[in-house]
Amino acid sequence: MKLDLDPATDLSFTRTLAAPRQLIWECWTRPEHIPHFFVPVPHKVTNVDIDLKVGGRFNTTFDVEGNVMENHGVYLEVVPEERLVFTDAYTEGWKPAPEPFMTAILLLADAPGGGTTYTAIARHRNPETKKNHEDMGFFDGWGTVATQLEAYAKGLAR
């Protein structure tokens, strides 16, 4: 499926990861894996609660320089090993969030040599939120997460 990206509100990048798509999917969808890659080191994921279904929760807690940050969201779309869409615009039970930030879209496809074509998209409500995310370091941060994900998944390779 081709997505029409809006340069005013969407940030995205694509990278080839040297790990199989099935394993990248497993890392993104099983709570025991998330702490190993989901935030750039030295920050830490201290809690993960996943209910992998449309409307199910994707809740994480981070420790960022001693500050606890809780993120609550839901899955909007789950297509095994191909597409994962989650947002903080709602929490479980479709309760609207007071200040949503973004919707994340992860696209996975087989790449030559057994790797994964990994596309990460952050879709924002307006250009200001997109700019804030870009200024916060979207490309460096999400790029670091992709690098950490690749290294972690390669260590799990069967």
pLDDT (tens digit, 9 = 90+) per residue, 68-109? 999 999 999 999 999 999 999 999 899 999 989 999 999 999
CATH architecture for segment(s) 11-156: 2-Layer Sandwich (3.30)
Mean pLDDT over all residues of the chain?
A: 94
141 — phi, psi (to 5°)? -65, -50
pTM, rounded to two decimals? 0.93
- CA atoms within 13 A of residue 95's CA, in its CB half-sphere: 7
* Confidence (pLDDT) at 158: 63
CA angle 14, 19, 24 (to 5 degrees): 70
In DSSP terms, 119 is beta-bridged to 14, 107
Instruction: Provide the 10 A C-beta neighbour count for residue 21.
Output: 20
1 burial via Cβ count (<10 Å: 0-12, 13-18, 19+): exposed
